[in-house]
């Protein structure tokens, strides 16, 4: 079974490497891509942190043009990544950035789920290493922006978002649980609505 898992992982890494080399060659090529075809690139995720241990996963980027015949049409792209650590934590992120024909409308979206530990030392400037308290943060985040072109390179729109945070103290009796200055220890949620304004003159929004 272990050999089968290693074989599958090896095939995935080799396929990812070939896809990346092809994509990178295309980016830095002197030849102009007149087809403006869509592209897909998988990305391996590796990392290490003291709190999470070794982290591994897979990400990917998909890029395309809504209007292939209009050379001024900005490229739309979607990004996704999921990782898991040796301590059982996870991080999942999905992001999208889309432009309609003639760049008249611009949409941005993000969805994220995270379960990650971190060290808490208290509040204020007098914190000490001895008070280190290990917490786990569970976060859910949803964000959506919609903008409309009101002038050249100028966009105005609305932004809607929601975030939920939950905190768990892994060490009973730690500073997080006992410090009276820490309020709402379980976490909470927030829902917000705002106005977005952007000015963008890039000729390549993926690789400025």
Q: How far apart are CA 14 and CA 191, in angstroms?
A: 43
Predicted confidence (pLDDT) per residue in 70-103, tens digit: 888 899 999 999 999 888 889 999 999 999 999 9
Give the mean pLDDT of 177-200.
88
Q: Is the pLDDT of residue 14 over 60?
A: no
The pLDDT assigned to 194 comes to 96
CB 92 within 8 A of CB 116: no
Does residue 84 or residue 29 have the better pLDDT?
A: 84
Angstrom distances, CA of residue 175 to CA of 44, 130, 183, 185, 204: 37, 10, 12, 11, 49
The pLDDT assigned to 6 comes to 45
The model scores a pTM over 0.85: no
Give the mean pLDDT of 166-176.
83
């Amino acid at each position: 079974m272990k050999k089968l898992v290693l074989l599958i992982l090896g095939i995935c890494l080799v396929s990812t490497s070939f896809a990346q080399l092809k994509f990178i060659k295309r980016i830095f090529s002197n030849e102009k891509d007149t087809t403006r075809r869509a592209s897909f690139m998988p990305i391996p995720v590796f990392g290490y942190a003291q709190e999470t241990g070794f982290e591994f996963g897979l990400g990917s980027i998909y890029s395309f043009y809504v209007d292939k015949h209009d050379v001024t049409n900005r490229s739309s792209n979607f990004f996704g990544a999921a990782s898991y650590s040796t301590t059982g934590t996870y991080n999942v992120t999905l992001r999208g950035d889309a432009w309609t024909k003639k760049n008249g409308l611009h949409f941005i979206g993000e969805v994220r789920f995270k379960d990650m530990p971190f060290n808490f030392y208290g509040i204020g400037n007098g914190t000490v290493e001895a008070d280190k308290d290990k917490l786990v943060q569970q976060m859910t985040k949803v964000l959506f922006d919609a903008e409309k072109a009101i002038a050249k390179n100028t966009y105005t729109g609305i932004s809607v978002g929601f975030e939920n945070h939950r905190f768990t103290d892994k060490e009973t009796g730690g500073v997080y649980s006992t410090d009276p200055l820490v309020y709402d220890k379980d976490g909470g949620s927030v829902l917000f609505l705002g106005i977005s304004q952007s000015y963008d003159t890039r000729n390549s929004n993926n690789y400025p």
